[in-house]
Structure 1
Amino acid sequence: MAARKRGFLARLIALVFKLIFGFVALSLLMVVIYRFVPPPTTITMLTDSNGATRDWTPIERIDRNMVAAAIAAEDGKFCTHSGFDREAIEAAVRRNAQGGRIRGGSTISQQTAKNVFLWQNGGFFRKGLEAWFTVLIETIWGKRRIMEVYLNVAETGIGTYGVEAGAQRYFGKGAGSLSRDEAARMAAALPLPKKRSVKSPSGFVRRYGNNIARRIRIVQRDGLDACTR
Structure 2
Amino acid sequence: DALCASAHARGVRLFVDAEESWIQHSIDELAETMMRRYNQERAIVWNTYQLYRHDRLDAYQFAYEQAAQGGYYLGAKLVRGAYMEKEARIAQQRGLPTPINPSKQHTDDLYDEALRYSIAHLDRISLCAGTHNEASSLLLTQLMAEAGIAPQDERVWFAQLYGMSDNLSYNLAHAGYHTAKYVPYGPVEAVMPYLLRRANENTAIAGQSSREFALIKKEMRRRNGKA
Which structure has more helix as a fraction of its residues?
A: 1
Q: Which has the higher contact order (CA 8 A, sep 6+)?
A: 1
Q: Considering fraction of residues, name the structure with more strand.
A: 2
**Same fold, TM exceeding 0.5?**
no
Q: Which has the larger radius of gyration?
A: 1
Taking structure 1 as the reference length, the TM-score comes to: 0.31
